[in-house]
Each structure stands twice: as C-alpha cells, then as structure tokens.
Structure 1
Amino acid sequence: MNAFIRQGAIGALLAAAACAAPAQADDFRVGFVNTDRIFREATPAKAAQSKLEQEFSKREKDLQDLGATLKAATDKFEKEAPTLSDGQRATRQRGLVEQDRDFQRKRREFQEDLNSRKNEELQQVLERANRVVRQVAETEKYDVILQEAVYINPKYDITDRVIKALNSAGTTTTAPASK
C-alpha cells in the first residue's frame, strides 16, 4: 500500500510540474544570432575586410606579377627547349624549378600571413558583437542567446538588431565588457 501512495504522490507532483512548466516557459526568452551574417553585413566586419585588403593588396599584386613572370618564362622555355643544347636546357629547367619553388614559398607565406591577420580582425569583430549581444540580451531580458544551431525559427533571430547596434556603435566600442 505504501508503494501505491508513493506512486500517487509522484504522479501528483509530475502533474503539478507539467501544469507549471508552460507558465515558466512563457517567461523563458531565447534568441539566436547568426555570426556569419554579422561577419558579412556589419560595418565593423566590412571595415576589417577593407583594412585587410589595403594591408595585403601590394603583396598580392607582387605575387600575381611574379606568377605571370614565371608563366611567361616557362612558356618561353617550352617554345625554345627543342632548339637548346642539353646543357642549356638543364640549366634553364633548374632556374625555372628554383623560381617556382620561390614563388610557391612566397605564396604560402602570404596566405599564412593573410589568414593570421584575418583571424585577428574577425576575433575583434566577434568580441564587439558578443558585447552587443550581451547588451541586447540584458536590455530585452533574454535568458539565452545561441550562436550556432542546426535550425532556428526566424522569430527567435535577433541578428538584425545586433547588426544595427554594431553599426550604430561605430568604431567607438573598444572597451571590454564588464562581466
């Protein structure tokens, strides 16, 4: 009989909890922020991209010129190879291989430097965006804001508000958030 009373009490508690859960769920606010959109659309992200383009454009142009020079030298060698002596052909081939190796090394270094700087700039944008997300969450009384999800109902997406706040903040938001 004791087990029956316990089961009844547990059932009553579960029923009461089920009735109370919808009332508590109404107070629970969830939001979602699409960081990819922030990186594409927010003014600070666009400014970071522009800064990177300015910073790396000369090196990129130099690499393109070096690649074009190497291609022209390779094309010239292929045309002239049948008329060259074995020694001349081998010497020019070694020179082209060395130039190609140098070009590949410079291109790799450029890509590594660009990726490193891009990560630095995007990290700064992300930190600013996270501060804005916290401000929006506190102001609008959100309980949780998600940044990654397989699916999200658009009614929970607050990305537009975050982008608008980031854009209106300009470049003055540089102090770390206090929390």
Structure 2
Amino acid sequence: MTHRLSQVLTSVLLLSGSLNAMAENMKFGYVNAARVYSESQTAQQIEQNLQKEFANQQQKINALQQENNQIREKLVSGSLKANDKQKLETKLVQNRMAVAKFLEDYNLRRNEEFAALQQNANAIVRRLAEQEHFDLIVQEAVFVRAQYDITERVIKLLDGR
C-alpha cells in the first residue's frame, strides 16, 4: 500500500513537471472584444453611419416621446372625459409601439453591422494566431497580464493602421 502511494505521488510529480514545461513553451494571447467594438475607428464609423441612417426616424421618435409626456400629464390631471381619456390612452399605446418598432429596427441594423465587424476581427485574430504561432487566444478572462493582451494590435489591424 505504501509502495503504491509512493508510485502515485512520483507519477503526479513527474506529470506536473512536464505540464509546467509544456505551459512554458505555449504562447497565449487575449483580446478584449468590448474594447475592439468601442475603440476601433471601424466601430466608431459604424455608429456614425447608423446615426446618420436613422437620424430622421430619431427626430420623429423624440417628438413622439415628448407627445407621450404631454399625454401622461393630461391623463394624470384627471380632468378628462372618459372618451377623451380612452383616445389619449390609445394614442399613448400607438406611440409606444412606434418607439419600440424604431428601437427594434435600429438594433437589428446595428447587430448586422457589428456581426460583420466581429467576423473581420475574428479573421484578424486567426491570422495573428497563425502568423505568430499562438497556441491559445481568448476573448474573456477574469484576469490577464498585459503581456498577453493583443487587443491594441487587433484594433490597429482592423482599422488598417
């Protein structure tokens, strides 16, 4: 029994030593995707283009929201006839639906654009991994030493700098 325990401990020690040696020979990288999507010129250009594309609709939505505020004030005042109150409540629901539709359209379009950006960023990460012989590149981690962070390089490559 003691002999068997000794063999197991020896095996564990040898295995841990070889794992350490393997880890020392591995090359790791980390990409902060949130930074890529917020700091890259490409992402900022996408945001600007979306703002231009949806500017007219955004103005209409702002007007609807102001109208909704006025409607709510009238409804709270309690001085409306039942028929007028019902019309205002219906208008409020219609306005809210219009705002929700706008947000849905905007988010759908934004997701389309950022999906393309994500594909480009992932292709750059794969190319970096192959060219520089990375063994592992991760996008999420609890803690990362600065020496492993390749986010800035990915941003520069994505922006063509």
TM-score tier, shorter chain, comes to: 0.7 to 0.9
1:36-115, aligned counterparts within 5 Å? 36-72=34-70, 75=73, 81=79, 89-115=81-107
State the AA in 2 paired with 1:140: E
- Which of residues 89, 106, 109 is equivalent to 1:117? 109
Determine if contact 2:27/2:133 at 8 Å carries over to the other structure: yes
Change (3 A) 1:71 1:24: closer
| Larger Rg, first or second structure (1 or 2) | 1
State the AA in 1 paired with 2:55: S
Q: TM-score, normalised by structure 2?
A: 0.84
% of aligned pairs identical?
Answer: 29
Unaligned runs of 5+ in 2: none
Q: How far apart, CA to CA, are the structure 2 residues paired with 1:19 and 1:96?
A: 75
- Match of residue 21 from structure 2: 23
Determine if contact 1:70/1:96 at 8 Å carries over to the other structure: no
State the AA in 1 paired with 2:38: R
Unaligned runs of 5+ in 1: 82-87, 170-179
What is the Cα deviation at residue 35 of structure 1? Answer: 0.4
Determine if contact 2:71/2:92 at 8 Å carries over to the other structure: no
Q: TM-score, normalised by structure 1?
A: 0.76
Q: Note the aligned Cα RMSD (angstroms).
A: 2.8
- Match of residue 133 from structure 1: 125
Give the secondary structure class of the aligned counterpart of 1:150.
coil
Q: How far apart, CA to CA, are the structure 2 residues paired with 1:151 and 1:104?
A: 42
Q: Aligned residue pairs: how many? A: 161
- Match of residue 175 from structure 1: none
What is the Cα deviation at residue 118 of structure 1? Answer: 1.6
